[in-house]
Chain A
């Protein structure tokens, strides 16, 4: 296992809203951790998912692919996604890939939780 692969923490910020705290590298190697956090949140009824990229160290194309897979699952389950904590560089990558059209990018956790409700 890649020791740099992101660790994912799950916490609740409302009855139907969960934040996934991402720490480390978002690459394909982080997929099991993200899948586990997502499934845990879904099982417990999350309708709003907020990705906290404040601890992101590095993201590559495999990580982007992993987020696309997450989006597919969330879309099937009618869940909304928002994110905060992205650096300027990774915001640019979200815009380039148009991930920002499917995952609302916000400046703070509060605004991301609110955005995922709309």
Chain B
């Protein structure tokens, strides 16, 4: 008897948008949790929820500067043995690419429709998240107390990618489904 081939099909589980209002990341994490119910064990689901909330809050606060007329688009997929969540904001185009976001300064090609897969460090994130947060340094006043968001995301999910496509800034989070 041969083993079943690995499940590599991609299936969209949910697609929704939240207005860029601080606090709406709570709505995003609830909707994502509902869409993957039963597919991820509770401990890993908690981690995915934290990562989704942090990425959505970043899109709201830093991608869209809390402009309620701009929506953060969230999609949830089952890709084979993993759950994938994408969180997209309108990226540098919102600010006219005027260099007031780290990714404007680093990556002019992000505004011309080219796709650019990046290391997440310092791109599309507040500058205080470009360095690894260190509690001892924060307590000594050498780092700001805040700046934990990107660090949390990276440790909560199995994989994180940041992509710029058609001027949109997209965070892709992946978490293994099933099992413990």
Chain A contact residues, CB within 8 Å of chain B: 2, 4, 25, 27-29, 58, 60-62, 64-66, 68-69, 71-72, 75, 87-89, 92-93, 96-99, 101-102
Stretch of B70-78, B132-140, B164-172 on the interface side: B132-140
Q: How far is the CB of A83 from chain B (nearest CB, A)?
A: 15
CB distance B47 to A68 under 8 Å? no
Enumerate chain A residues within 8 angstroms of B57, measured Cβ to Cβ. Answer: 60-62
CB distance A62 to B146 under 8 Å? yes
In angstroms, Cα B138 to Cα A97, docked, is: 11
CB distance A68 to B43 under 8 Å? no
CB distance A58 to B146 under 8 Å? no
CB distance B54 to A61 under 8 Å? yes
- Asked if B23 is an interface residue, CB under 8 A from chain A, the answer is yes
Enumerate chain B residues within 8 angstroms of A58, measured Cβ to Cβ. Answer: 26, 53
How many of B's residues come within 8 Å of A, CB to CB? 26
Kindly list 8 other residue pairs between chains A and B, CB separation below 8 angstroms, not including A29-B22, A64-B152: A2-B22, A4-B26, A61-B57, A65-B144, A68-B139, A68-B145, A72-B141, A92-B47
From 27 to 45 in chain B, residues with beta carbon under 8 angstroms from any chain A beta carbon are 43
7 contacting pairs across A/B (C-beta < 8 A): A29-B22, A61-B146, A64-B148, A65-B144, A68-B138, A72-B138, A89-B43
Enumerate chain B residues within 8 angstroms of A72, measured Cβ to Cβ. Answer: 138-139, 141, 145
- Asked if B86 is an interface residue, CB under 8 A from chain A, the answer is no
Chain B binding surface, main DSSP class: helix
In angstroms, Cα B57 to Cα A25, docked, is: 14
CB distance B135 to A61 under 8 Å? no
In angstroms, Cα B46 to Cα A27, docked, is: 17
Q: How far is the CB of B33 from chain A (nearest CB, A)?
A: 12
A65, A88, A96: which has the most chain B beta carbons within 10 Å? A65
CB distance B145 to A66 under 8 Å? yes
CB distance A61 to B43 under 8 Å? no
Enumerate chain B residues within 8 angstroms of A66, measured Cβ to Cβ. Answer: 145
Q: How far is the CB of B4 from chain A (nearest CB, A)?
A: 33
CB distance A89 to B139 under 8 Å? no
Q: How far is the CB of A75 from chain B (nearest CB, A)?
A: 6
